[in-house]
Amino acid sequence: MKTEDGPHGSKIGIMGGTFDPIHYGHLFVAEAARRALSLDRLIFVPAGLPPHKHYEAMAAAEDRYAMTALAIQDNPHFEISRIETDKTGVSYTSDTLETFARLYGGAYFFLIMGMDSALEITEWHDPFKILSLSTVVIVARPGYIRDKIREMDETVRKSLIFLDVGMIDVSATEIRDNARGGKSVRYMTPEVVCDYIRDMKLYSGRGVR
């Protein structure tokens, strides 16, 4: 990650997640958000030890970081940060944003997330710090409706903005299941990620191609 201060007033998108693995759905939303919000850069932040997701088959943090780095390497507007990968202990979004605020003085941050995450944001660690340090951008996912946001705290609700960019219907769970069963994951995630899953035998994907 670049550590120099960004130009005052620069617009930086932050897209965090387990990225287990990263797929075309993530990449489509990231690029669409970058364009729609006129972001100067978009930083992917693979979680080291996420506080909300724990399952036995989760790939190691270094593997998830490597797959994300491979997937974004051909987009000059995308960057990747090790801020959570290298962290000891649980990675909290509020702490990550606080660090970014120090690294990129004067920048405006846009935290990009899906509707499912947005509905749970009040349960996150220090949610009001998140809202004070960033604009939370919600990308709707199939099966969720905006009316659910109306049930949220008014202070939180007023701090959210929606982005209609469409979606690609692919999930990391489906990719892991396919890999585990030796099925193809081609066209679900970039080919370099397919190769990595196969070569590193992630998710028991010995036959994946």
**Which pLDDT belongs to residue 132?**
94
- The rounded radius of gyration (Å) of the Cα atoms in the chain is 17
With bands split at pLDDT 50, 70 and 90, how would you rate the model's confidence at 199?
A: very high
**What pLDDT score was predicted for residue 126?**
94
Q: Name the nearest CA neighbour of 135 among 154, 116, 160, 156.
A: 160
| Mean pLDDT of the 187-206 span | 90
Q: At the top level of CATH, which class does the domain 11-204 belong to? A: alpha beta
How many residues are given for the chain?
A: 209
* pLDDT of res. 2: 38
> What SS3 state is found at 179?
helix
Least confident span in 11-20, 134-143, 199-208: 199-208
- The residues near 188 (Cβ < 8 Å, ≥ 6 apart) are 23, 24, 170, 174, 175, 178
Taking CA atoms, 205 is separated from 22, 23, 48, 96, in Å, by: 16, 16, 22, 32
* Contact assessment for residue 45 and residue 191, using Cβ atoms and an 8 Å cutoff: no
Q: What's the average model confidence in pLDDT over 97-105?
A: 95
Number of other CB atoms surrounding residue 52 within 10 Å: 13
Model confidence at 4, pLDDT cuts 50, 70, 90, reads very low
Domain residue spans of the chain: 11-204
pLDDT > 70 fraction of the chain, expressed in percent and rounded: 88
CA–CA separation, 33 and 77 (whole Å): 12
Confidence class of residue 160 from pLDDT cuts 50, 70 and 90?
confident
